[in-house]
Amino acid sequence: MSRRRVAITGLGILAPNGLNTEEYWASLIAGRSGVRTIESFDTSDYPCRIGGEIRGFDPEPYFKDSKLLRRTDRFVHFAMAASIMAMKDSGLELDKEDLNRIGVIIGTGVGGLDTLEKAARKLIAQGPSRVSPFVIPGMMANAAGALVSIEFGLRGPNYCPVSACATSAHAIGEASRMIRDGITDVCVAGGSEATVTPLAMAGFSAMRAVSLRNDNPEQASRPFDRDRDGFVMGEGSGILVLEELEHAKKRGARIYAELGGYGQSADAWHLTQPHPEGQEVANAMRFAMQDAGVETVDYINAHATSTPIGDICETNGIKRALGDNARKVAVSSTKSMTGHLLGAAGAIELAACVLAVNRGVVPPTINLDNPDPECDLDYVPHTAREMKVRAALNNSFGFGGHNASIVVKEFVD
């Protein structure tokens, strides 16, 4: 029996530089950053005062119940909006589907942190009797997937991976496996994050992990650049609709691309630092390409967060994984324009790979003014590039040494 193939039929994106998929893609191709000075809380005492906030977003149209809107965290608002966008984009007619055969896998690296922080402040200031009964359902990581399932009545497998910055890549990869294995025919998969909050910004600042380029927010995220000084926090959500190929063809769906391969590994090295030689990130890439049946790819959307160590480690990993082909591949980091969305990063970046395959353009790495000599690949500096992309690879690497890579391919029947 031949392996079931996985089509990508729907995209929903909410990013710092675009409130829907087309806005996001247009910003990427134009090299437009969504990083600004943080406005949602007072950062005057913080070392880092910049982030990729979602601005101008109204969650109300995405919620039928205004009470539910008030009782849910911002990361749930993002996930609900992106899921509704993705489902609409897919053209699925749910009244014609077996809802037991449609799953939901939506992950988050942190979950409802804003809800938790506000509840903790109230507890300290007013005592336990003033803590809301909606705190627990508001902060739990699985709330986004649960509410998306409820919204559409989807009764297939539903769970929430949490693997730091590899989360949404794991969610999408595992969703593809369920379709291949015949467990589901369709899966709504991705991630959501809302960590531009006082505690998260204080914590990452204390780790000295974030950029302090406060006077030039749009230039702060600069992957592979000699002068990079840390990542920039971002927020948002990316959701993809994955579908068994024959199921998609039968209903006449528009197919963006095929999800060809998924690989994962663990560094088994350090809780927050990647292995310097990039051996296990290379293995994740190798496994994904082997799974996809390709020896190389045309484009890599790199995890590259703009940290001094991480970008070198990934460069080393790409060289290990692709060998002589490494210098022939276009590599870019769209985090230069969105900041780092933690658990949602992989999903919005995989969407960029899907669109690169579908439209024949790869987004640039902006702010790459002075390339680091140890980062010596083709990083598509400053300007998008028109090129044929038959296969693209997306990397997502999380604290704890969690590595995930996904290959998407041009759909050929």
Strand, helix or coil for residue 69: helix
Question: Distance (Å, rounded) from C-alpha 407 to C-alpha 290?
Answer: 10
Neighbours of 121 (CB within 10 A): 11
Residue 385, CA distances (Å) to 4, 359, 379, 395 in order: 33, 11, 11, 20
Active site residue 165: yes
Q: What is the DSSP string of 115-152?
A: HHHHHHHHHHHH-GGGS-TTHHHHH-TTHHHHHHHHHH
Question: Distance (Å, rounded) from C-alpha 381 to C-alpha 20?
Answer: 25
> Do residues 161 and 404 touch, judged by C-beta distance below 8 A?
no
Question: Catalytic pick from 48, 160, 165, 187?
Answer: 165
Question: Distance (Å, rounded) from C-alpha 70 to C-alpha 272?
Answer: 34
How do beta strands 330-332 and 299-301 pair? parallel
| Count of CA atoms in the C-beta half-sphere (13 A) of 204 | 25
Phi, psi dihedral angles at 302 (to 5 degrees): -80, 150
Spatial CB neighbours of 52, under 8 Å, sequence gap ≥ 6: 15, 16, 17, 34, 35, 36, 196, 232, 233, 234, 235, 236, 338, 339, 340, 341
Strand, helix or coil for residue 77: helix
The amino acid at residue 68 is L
Neighbours of 316 (CB within 10 A): 21
- Tokens at 154, concatenated: 């989807």
> Do residues 389 and 376 touch, judged by C-beta distance below 8 A?
no
Residues marked as catalytic? 165
